[in-house]
């Protein structure tokens, strides 16, 4: 997403006073959630939309950052299927010393099993799971798993994926959860073709690779970009390296330091000065 300008709240020109900041980005007429609910999403645009999401996530993953809230409402789009990923409020980079990843992230319907099972060592694969859910929702016209709470969400997932193999629950950190999964009643997986009868063979295959219970077996973003579903869609295969654009992890700095950096970005010539001119900075 293109950052057009940065606008500070009127009259707040120092880190001591600033409590909000406005980022102005390029306009997009719709979000994917609204488009799906309207029933006007064209089936032929689904591969292009998924490719756009994957390319955006590939970029932020290349900096070691997880989005952690991928869902249709956070994918802005236009009538041609061009997309922009929005809402980085839960995004996080490599955790600082002493910090622990929380599992209460990602809107429940798009939350990966490792999050539902309260794992705190999860990876970028949580974004891949969410993208798989988005793909299924575009095909079905409604969310795949609509649990009312974490327990029901996991139950709905297992009702489709079936009882996981013993080797596929070893990533679970809590022994009590691991025991429940290992001793649950045998339950076969449902073929994705029966869950999504309108889906193409390529779409069903990608769904199965993205929505793997075991994150270690889940497809990577790079692998997904080369999947047959996206065959024929051109894109620059040069792997992005955005590390230089995210040189620090916010969690490593105190709030005042971060605010000082924001002020320096907004008022580059006289950061921290009460006499700084209240103007926006075009990126």
Q: Are 134 and 98 in contact (CB under 8 A)?
A: no
Catalytic residue among 69, 97, 127, 254: 69
- Whether 69 is a known active-site residue: answer yes
What span, in angstroms and rounded, lies between the C-alpha atoms of 68 and 125?
10
The catalytic site residues sit at 69
């Amino acid at each position: 997403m293109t950052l057009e300008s940065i606008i500070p709240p009127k009259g707040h020109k120092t880190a001591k006073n600033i409590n909000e900041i406005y980022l102005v980005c390029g306009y997009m007429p719709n979000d994917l959630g609204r488009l799906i609910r309207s029933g006007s999403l064209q089936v032929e645009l689904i591969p292009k939309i998924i490719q756009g999401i994957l390319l955006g996530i590939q970029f932020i993953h290349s900096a070691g950052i997880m989005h952690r809230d991928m869902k249709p409402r956070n994918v802005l789009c236009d009538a041609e299927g061009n997309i922009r990923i929005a809402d980085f409020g839960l995004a996080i980079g490599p955790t600082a010393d002493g910090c622990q990843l929380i599992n209460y992230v990602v809107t429940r319907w798009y939350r990966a099993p490792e999050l539902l099972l309260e794992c705190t060592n999860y990876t970028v694969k949580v974004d891949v799971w969410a993208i798989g859910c988005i793909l299924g929702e575009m095909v079905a016209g409604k969310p795949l798993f609509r649990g009312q709470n974490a327990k029901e969400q996991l139950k709905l997932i297992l009702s489709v994926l079936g009882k996981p193999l013993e080797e596929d629950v070893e990533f679970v950190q809590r022994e009590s959860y691991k025991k429940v999964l290992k001793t649950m009643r045998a339950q076969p997986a449902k073929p994705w073709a029966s869950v999504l009868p309108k889906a193409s063979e390529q779409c069903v295959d990608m769904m199965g690779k993205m929505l793997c219970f075991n994150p270690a077996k889940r497809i990577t973003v790079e692998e997904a970009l080369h999947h047959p579903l996206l065959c024929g869609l051109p894109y620059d295969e040069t792997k992005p390296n955005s590390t230089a654009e995210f040189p620090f992890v916010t969690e490593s700095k105190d709030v005042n330091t971060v605010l000082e950096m924001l002020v320096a970005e907004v008022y580059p010539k006289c950061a921290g000065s009460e006499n700084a001119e209240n103007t926006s900075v075009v990126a």
